[in-house]
């Protein structure tokens, strides 16, 4: 029957269909005229009853009813579109009415702070769902709408509640948005349990990337920093922003293949807030330290994921933070050339504790403990750090400094005999890891 020739009636409104404007997994969407209320701008979503596969059709109809049921339970959450009226009298005549909104365009030329504001609003909706042990499972740009300059998360056809028995999803069924879907969505039967909150976070991170990158198609798999993944990285120059480190960390930690390792929505919100404060120059001292630490972590991640085996770091602040974090294991080698044909190698099993780093001059004073009694003290100036993945080593190249040419002095400190080792500038410190 032609839907345009019919008057549809619910508990609150009567309407007639004008034209089809879209479709989703469980039905089609139409522009409508509300009889007696010409100023109301609504759309109607109708269930599409394809009875050629009755079992599949029944399951889709149950999802359609479940969507209406749960959305009606979430009316207190800002950012979820209300259902204005509905009818579920039969599979052939089931629909619901909502206010008409426009689709969210990821390639729109919004300012960065406006995009981050949209992203935060989506995050807060997801947070409210997760606090109620509900998961959306279909987060994608197509399911984000704008009404009165406010973003809304819509289409709850795949919503899942932790307290429910999910008899609407087959173990061999693929769910969610294809290209950006987490790996667990393609093989539900391989898991005895899936944390769908982690799946939502994965999808949300992909949406963040699509919004900030202005790319509507997303990307497969986890977010990486390596040389072969440069095309994925967000462009600071495009937005004239100092760094995207908080958002990079969010997307990286939210898109692990293993859902048990992903961050949660509260962690996501923390990273978004940090990025917002960074671009508005509103960081407090503690947050500045966090940003600096994130920079260092990001560099290390890039080095580990990069196919290039050797990296040279000369940033003074990074070197200082790197040394202060005690990231080295216990073995240290002091290597240097005694003559043209002989290389001096001294190895000691030492536990490193960097006690002080003068950032301005990259002057380092390290204490090495043996059996909790004897202390070896090492002074050196670091000009650059070389991370050599092939040899599994960090190399500290030293600059010329005559003050460091004396070494192996013995001094007494706090009743202990201390070996004071000044590293000459023609040597290097190599630390295996």
Distances (CA, A) of 166 to 199, 203, 233: 16, 20, 37
Residues forming a β-bridge with 150: 147
Cβ contact 169:184 at 8 Å: no
User: Residue 155: helix, strand or coil by DSSP?
Assistant: coil
| Token pair of 61 as six digits | 């109809």
DSSP assignment of 208-242 equals HHHHHHT-TT--SS----SGGGGGGS--HHHHT-S
Which residue's entry shows tokens 């109809």? 61
Question: Which own/partner pairs from 272-278 qualify as long-range (CB within 8 Å, at least 24 positions apart)?
Answer: 272/116, 272/119, 272/120, 272/123, 272/246, 272/247, 273/120, 274/246, 275/116, 275/244, 275/246, 275/247, 276/113, 276/116, 276/117, 276/120, 278/241, 278/242, 278/243, 278/246
User: What's the rounded Cα separation, in Å, for the pair 11 and 134?
Assistant: 28
Is residue 6 a known part of a binding site? Answer: no
Beta strands in 139-271 (DSSP E): 144-147, 150-153, 160-161
Listed in sequence order, the residues at least 6 apart from 344 whose beta carbon sits closer than 8 Å to its beta carbon are 334, 335, 336, 337, 338, 427
Cβ contact 201:264 at 8 Å: yes
CB half-sphere exposure, 328, CA atoms < 13 A = 27
User: What's the rounded Cα separation, in Å, for the pair 293 and 387?
Assistant: 18
User: What's the rounded Cα separation, in Å, for the pair 312 and 146?
Assistant: 47
| Token pair of 154 as six digits | 């819509």
Binding residues: 45
Binding residues for ATP: 45
């Amino acid at each position: 029957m032609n839907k345009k020739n019919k008057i549809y009636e619910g508990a609150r409104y009567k309407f007639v269909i004008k034209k089809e404007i879209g479709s989703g997994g469980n039905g089609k969407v139409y522009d409508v005229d509300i009889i007696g209320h010409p100023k109301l701008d609504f759309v109607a979503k109708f269930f599409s009853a394809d009875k050629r596969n009755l079992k599949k059709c029944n399951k889709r109809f149950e999802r359609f009813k479940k969507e209406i049921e749960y959305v009606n339970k979430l009316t207190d959450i800002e950012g979820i579109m209300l259902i204005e009226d509905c009818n579920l009298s039969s599979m052939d005549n089931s629909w619901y009415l909502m206010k008409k909104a426009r689709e969210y365009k990821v390639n729109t030329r919004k300012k960065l702070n406006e995009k981050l504001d949209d992203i935060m609003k989506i995050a807060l909706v997801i947070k409210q769902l997760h606090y109620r042990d509900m998961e959306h499972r279909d987060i994608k740009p197509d399911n984000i709408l704008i009404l009165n300059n406010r973003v809304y998360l819509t289409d709850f056809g795949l919503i899942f509640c932790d307290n429910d028995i999910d008899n609407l999803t087959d173990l061999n069924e693929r769910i969610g948005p294809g290209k950006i879907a987490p790996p667990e969505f393609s093989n539900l039967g391989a898991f005895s349990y899936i944390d769908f909150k982690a799946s939502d976070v994965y999808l949300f991170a992909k949406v963040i990337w699509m919004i900030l990158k202005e790319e509507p198609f997303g990307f497969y798999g986890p977010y990486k920093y390596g040389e072969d993944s440069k095309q994925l990285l967000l462009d600071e120059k495009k937005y004239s922003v100092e760094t995207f480190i908080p958002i990079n960390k969010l997307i990286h930690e939210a898109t692990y293949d293993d859902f048990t390792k992903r961050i949660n929505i509260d962690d996501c919100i923390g990273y978004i807030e940090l990025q917002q404060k960074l671009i508005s120059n509103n960081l407090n001292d503690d947050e500045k330290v966090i940003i600096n630490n994130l920079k260092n972590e990001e560099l290390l991640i890039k080095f580990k994921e990069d196919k290039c085996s050797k990296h040279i770091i000369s940033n003074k602040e990074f070197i200082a933070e790197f040394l202060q974090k005690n990231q080295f294991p216990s073995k240290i080698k002091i290597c240097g050339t005694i003559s043209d044909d002989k290389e001096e190698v001294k190895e000691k099993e030492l536990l490193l504790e960097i006690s002080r780093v003068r950032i301005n001059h990259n002057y380092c004073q390290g204490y090495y403990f043996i059996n909790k009694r004897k202390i070896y003290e090492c002074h050196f100036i670091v000009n650059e750090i070389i991370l050599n993945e092939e040899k599994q080593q960090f190399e500290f190249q030293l600059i010329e400094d005559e003050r460091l040419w004396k070494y192996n002095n013995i001094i007494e400190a706090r009743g202990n005999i201390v070996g004071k080792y000044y590293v000459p500038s023609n040597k290097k410190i190599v630390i295996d890891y």
